[in-house]
Structure 1
Amino acid sequence: MSKSVNFIKTENRPFCKWFSVVVLPLVTLLCAGMVSCNEEKSYEKEMYKKVFYLLSGNDHTYTETYSLNKEESVRYFSIGCGGSLSSSDAVTITLEPDVVLLESYNKSNFDIDYGAYAKLLPASRYEISSYIVNFPANSADQYVKVPVKVRPLGLSPDTIYFIPIAIKSVTKYEVNPEKYNVLYRVTIENDYAEQKTLTYYTRNGTIKNQTTGEESALTGNKIMQPLTSDKVRIFAGNIAQSQTSTVDDIEKNAIVLQINSDHSVSFSQYGTIEVEALSKPNFNRYSVEKDLRGKDEHYFYLYYQYRTEVTPVIGDTPATYSPWSEITETLKKVETN
């Protein structure tokens, strides 16, 4: 039996060599080609598949900024269509208010911190002219823009405002189940600060306790937030504001700067703080100046005094306050682009 096996191996070695060198590679190539063709057909099918979706980030939000310089203005969100080729047919897309995303967003981001919860933008503040959108046939673009008119005056920089929107139906093709809804966020800005990204100003100056006469340096950064076209809010003196500052912190420590038409600056209280302008040449003004490269730099030159409430009014007992602090400071906007 052993001999027989040895004989076969010896006598057929040329055939085996030819088979392994010629036939096996051909069979392998043929199989690979069949697999490749199947994969290519599957890829092409997916590649040309028409799927509609609402453009958003990973958290299903999309943000647009509205200027407080205008009573109302228009920004857009987008409806996209997947696939490498445009649709040969026009498609009608029906939108509706979304009812699930806002609650999910709040629970995910703030848990039981209910005071930080995002809110619905009041219906009186915005207008979407039609919730029925036509996606044209053979469009050069793979998306259409839907206009959203917003009246931003009076919106708070401390609140997250959303317009929740969802795709209700399409007359043809499919809707991406992971991207069928969006939280359209409305933020505000003016010429001095914006809400979307916190605006910082570097601070240089002094703080003087008017009771003791003690004086110290003011350095670091200060957050500035937009209120109206000509008003911004900052924390007074050396009081630090952060992204975690509470409503009570703001009510106690914030002051309002009003930039007048002649670029002079007026002061007013935001909450319980008391603030008064002081007089010094070339202070209490806003200025745009050129740096050595000819680029605009934005400055506030401020001279004022403030005191914070220690105890509120109780019956006939008046409120008590901290000693007056005298502030001399120059704020320079930190440019982000």
Structure 2
Amino acid sequence: MKRIYMINKNRRKGLGIALPVFLLFITATCDRDEVFEREQYKNVFALISESDNVSRKFHKLGEESVGYVAASLGGTNPTTKDIVVDLVEDQSLLDDFNKTNYDTDISKYGKPLPESKYDIDTYRFTIPAGEISGRLPIRIRPDGLSPDTAYFISLRVDSHSAYEVNPEKSFVLYRIRTKNYWAQADGNTNYSMRAKLRVQGSASELEMPGTKVMHPITQNKVRIMAGNETYESDVNVFNRFAIVLEIDEDHKVTITPYNNVEVTQVDGDPDFPNIFKIEDDGFKTYKTFLLRYDYKSGNTIYEMKEELRLEFSEDEDENE
């Protein structure tokens, strides 16, 4: 009684709240706590992806490999029933992704992965009772895919046998990216460059440090920009000034044009003998190219002597 009197007294002084309001506040708080606890204990599964619902995976050129669309289950209590999930391909998901991210810039649109490049034996997978994950295998054959195009398999949950699916994570865009031993097709394989450039007919030679972005083309071919040409993630630029390095089993390198550039391989230079090798300086290990070639830009022929190096770990390469 004394406690009620003090609350009412404070109300008369304008210092507190009325008892009915105070009780209403407590009741509402309890209701929110109960809802929170129910949500916390509820079993909900989601397809695993990044924030944009894209799952990005690298696949090695020259072979068929298996990737997975995976699901993860949340909730405090273990499930008592299998969750059988059926997926279905849905092109509209990629259409929405393209419009949201690129609007009318069609040149940047992602494309559906050609049907000849993958197999999905079944669109059904299971999250077994008491477990928190399940996955659907996809066999990918990446040979022939362009490093400059984004390829997707668009999948969404069509049905599930038990519990709930997170509606915001009920679909996934599985993006296929290519790689080989020397590079990955994400534009982030950057070799450090130590080069010497000379305009044909000139007596002077220019030292030219920098970096070069390398893309995989086939199992044993990569693409770089010729000489000191500026790199842009643009097919038209690649067509004008990119060259291809083909590495044979003996680590000898053959240099050819990617498309329109005029390039001539020059052999016989003992310091730049057109080879690939692994270097170990006792502290770090490097993938290294030593290249010698001439190429034409406009009306000028440039003579290039070029060392490209990329620090790497054999263990990391094997685990990718």
Q: TM-score, normalised by structure 1?
A: 0.82
Equivalent residue runs for 1:96-115 within 5 Å: 96-115=88-107
Alpha-carbon spacing, 1:89–1:281, altered in 2? closer, same or farther (3 Å) = same
Partner of 1:115, secondary structure, is helix
CA drift at 1:33: 7.0
Contact persistence 1:65–1:196 (CA under 8 A): no
User: Which residue matches 1:181?
Assistant: 171
Unpaired runs of at least 5, structure 1? 1-14, 311-321
Pairing partner for 1:270 from 236, 250, 258: 258
Alignment partners' CA distance in 2, 1:19 and 1:335? 76
Pairing partner for 1:287 from 277, 292, 314: 277
Alignment partners' CA distance in 2, 1:221 and 1:256? 17
Partner amino acid for 1:199?
Answer: T
Bigger radius of gyration:
1
User: Which residue matches 1:298?
Assistant: 287
Partner of 2:136, secondary structure, is strand
User: Which residue matches 1:11?
Assistant: none
Alpha-carbon spacing, 1:18–1:73, altered in 2? closer, same or farther (3 Å) = closer
Runs of 4 or more consecutive aligned structure 1 residues displaced over 6 Å after TM superposition: 27-33
Query: Is 1:232 aligned with 2:222?
Result: yes
Pairing partner for 1:259 from 247, 255, 260: 247
Contact persistence 1:253–1:273 (CA under 8 A): yes
CA drift at 1:39: 3.6
Alpha-carbon spacing, 1:113–1:49, altered in 2? closer, same or farther (3 Å) = same
Paired residues, number: 303
Unpaired runs of at least 5, structure 2? 11-18
Contact persistence 2:245–2:256 (CA under 8 A): yes
Identity %: 35
Alignment partners' CA distance in 2, 1:204 and 1:35? 69
> Which range moved further: 71-80 or 184-193?
71-80
Alignment partners' CA distance in 1, 2:4 and 2:239? 90
Alignment partners' CA distance in 1, 2:285 and 2:195? 22
CA drift at 1:83: 1.4
CA drift at 1:97: 0.6
Contact persistence 1:55–1:78 (CA under 8 A): yes
User: Which residue matches 2:14?
Assistant: none
Alpha-carbon spacing, 1:196–1:29, altered in 2? closer, same or farther (3 Å) = same
CA drift at 1:287: 1.4
Pairing partner for 2:36 from 40, 43, 48: 43
Contact persistence 1:222–1:240 (CA under 8 A): no
1:78-113 CA distances to partner (integer Å, 9 max, x unpaired)?
Answer: 122231223201122110012322112212222222
1:286-312 CA distances to partner (integer Å, 9 max, x unpaired)?
Answer: 11111342x31111111111124x5xx
Contact persistence 2:44–2:73 (CA under 8 A): yes
Alpha-carbon spacing, 1:209–1:195, altered in 2? closer, same or farther (3 Å) = same
User: Which residue matches 2:126?
Assistant: 134
CA drift at 1:144: 0.7
Pairing partner for 1:325 from 286, 302, 305: 302
Alignment partners' CA distance in 1, 2:3 and 2:309? 82
Alignment partners' CA distance in 2, 1:182 and 1:18? 57
Partner of 1:108, secondary structure, is helix
Partner of 1:105, secondary structure, is helix
Partner amino acid for 1:74?
Answer: V
Contact persistence 1:161–1:187 (CA under 8 A): yes
Pairing partner for 2:148 from 134, 158, 168: 158
Alignment partners' CA distance in 2, 1:248 and 1:100? 29
CA drift at 1:40: 3.5
CA drift at 1:127: 1.1
1:118-157 CA distances to partner (integer Å, 9 max, x unpaired)?
Answer: 1110011011111122221122xx1212111100111111
CA drift at 1:37: 4.6
Question: Cα RMSD over matched residues?
Answer: 2.7
Contact persistence 2:243–2:256 (CA under 8 A): yes
Pairing partner for 2:117 from 125, 141, 145: 125
Contact persistence 2:126–2:135 (CA under 8 A): no
Alpha-carbon spacing, 1:80–1:17, altered in 2? closer, same or farther (3 Å) = closer
User: Which residue matches 1:242?
Assistant: 232
1:16-69 CA distances to partner (integer Å, 9 max, x unpaired)?
Answer: 589549xx9xx999888765653442222101212232111121111111111x
Alpha-carbon spacing, 1:330–1:65, altered in 2? closer, same or farther (3 Å) = same
Alpha-carbon spacing, 1:268–1:108, altered in 2? closer, same or farther (3 Å) = same
Partner of 1:106, secondary structure, is helix
Partner of 1:104, secondary structure, is helix
Pairing partner for 1:60 from 45, 53, 56: 53
Contact persistence 2:41–2:76 (CA under 8 A): yes
